[in-house]
């Protein structure tokens, strides 16, 4: 199970994107616990200086029952950790096409389109890895959410 850590944005300036990785040999419960612990540790490292942190999660299904169930469990753990750290109102979920539209300009964007758009938007020197680009596109979507 590989999931990107949430991005920290400051005026849409790239600050951090890392990937959390759980051992494929661990049981599903152990992998979820690893996500819980690692994401919690990342959140705990962020400055508690009055900064408001906004969190976005990409929602959606379509990979088959087992995959959809696994993604729902991962999102549930991520929402729990983020709500504990930043409050439940800091979290918003976005559909895949919304993320692609905000991130790359159209809902049918390819992975490469999203990578290039994220690189441009955040003025990055190198194209981010696909999973990181997806997570960064969610962060850009959340940063542009006026609700």
**Structural domains in the chain, sorted by start:** 2-143 (3.30.420.10)
| pTM for the model | 0.81
79: closest CA among 51, 102, 59, 50? 59
| DSSP structural state of residue 6 | P
In percent, the amount of the chain with pLDDT more than 70 equals: 92
Under the banding of pLDDT at 50, 70 and 90, the label for residue 11 is low
pLDDT category, 126, cuts 50, 70, 90? very high
CA-to-CA distance for 114 and 55, rounded, in angstroms? 19
Residue 87 backbone class (left: φ over 0; alpha: ψ -120 to 50; beta: rest): left
- pLDDT tens-digit profile of 49-91? 888 888 999 887 777 777 888 889 999 999 999 999 999 999 9
């Amino acid at each position: 199970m590989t999931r990107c850590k949430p991005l920290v944005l400051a005026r849409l300036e790239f600050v951090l994107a890392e990937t959390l990785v759980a051992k494929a040999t661990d049981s599903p419960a152990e992998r979820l616990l690893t996500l819980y612990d690692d994401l919690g540790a990342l959140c705990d490292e962020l400055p508690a200086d009055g900064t408001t942190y906004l969190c976005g999660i990409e929602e959606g299904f379509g990979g088959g029952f087992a995959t959809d169930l696994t993604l729902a469990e991962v999102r549930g753990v991520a929402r729990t950790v983020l709500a504990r750290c930043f409050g439940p109102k800091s979290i918003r979920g976005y559909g895949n096409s919304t993320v692609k539209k905000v991130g790359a300009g159209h809902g049918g964007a390819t992975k490469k389109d999203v990578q290039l758009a994220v690189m441009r938007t955040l003025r990055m020197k190198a194209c981010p890895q696909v999973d990181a680009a997806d997570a960064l596109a969610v962060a850009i979507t959340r940063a542009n959410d006026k609700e």
